[in-house]
Chain A
Amino acid sequence: DIVMTQSPDSLAVSLGERATINCKSSQSVFYSSNNKNCLAWYQQKPGQPPKLLIYWASTRESGVPDRFSGSGSGTDFTLTISSLQAEDVAAYYCQQYSTTPPTFGPGTKVDIK
């Protein structure tokens, strides 16, 4: 299985400031057939299911605010919240879908400083 790691475990950011979450895969998740990376990001608020934010490492799901952006390639990826809002307090998970089974990172908790 591909092992996903995330850093930091948690972070606190002031409202309006940038939040950056890192995700690393134990092997490349690059898909040569379409030159894209098989990496998704989810947001999970307490008591709620995960919500898809981004897929193909950088494609924003419909309806997701443009302050959320994804980047990276191969084994190293980043989710950036450009201007943190109060409603962004949540845990964030990355997920690879390059190989079966799909696997998730352990999550990063984002809070307000």
Chain B
Amino acid sequence: QVRLQESGPGLVKPSETLSLTCSVSGDSITTYYWSWIRQPPGKGLEWIGYIYYSGSTNYNPSLKSRVTMSLDMSKNQFSLKLTSVTAADAAVYYCARLVGTSGWFDYWGQGTLVTVSS
């Protein structure tokens, strides 16, 4: 069974960098594409981007200037960094497995709430 688990600070100050990690078990991160998706409280879902084990990435143009994704194959983890956060970045952040470079998301983490406040 594939499992994903997000981890990272739940509180980030405005203008600082949000950093999250997703730990994957039950599958190797070399086999699929891996994504981050966020959901502001009470709102809809926004795709942030994906990373492949080769290092290939693709980011949502709306966030591209502030997003960096990376992966650690030795730990079977991938990570998200979002710089210069504002209140608009407050959301539940999910990591998910993406089928193909542009497909559906078949496994999701439980999500982690990130609040932006000083």
Contact = CB atoms under 8 A, between A and B. Distances in A.
A93 B45 contact: yes
Interface stretch (B10-18, B20-28, B70-78, B103-111): B103-111
Q: How large is the interface on A (under 10, 10 to 19, 20 to 34, 35 or more residues)?
A: 20 to 34
Given A49-B108, A49-B109, A103 B102 contact: no
Contacts, number: 53
A49 B45 CA distance: 11
B54 to A, nearest CB: 17
A95 B108 contact: no
Interface in A8-56: 38, 40, 42, 48-52, 55
B109 A103 contact: no
Given A49-B94, A49-B111, A100-B58, A105 B106 contact: no
A93 B44 contact: yes
A89 B83 CA distance: 37
A46 to B, nearest CB: 11
Dominant secondary structure of chain B at its interface with chain A: loop
Contacts of B96: 49
4 cross-chain pairs, A with B, having the tightest CB-CB distances, nearest first = A49-B108, A40-B104, A104-B45, A55-B104
Interface of A: 38, 40, 42, 48-52, 55, 61, 93, 95, 97-107
5 contacts: A42-B105, A49-B94, A50-B94, A97-B102, A100-B102
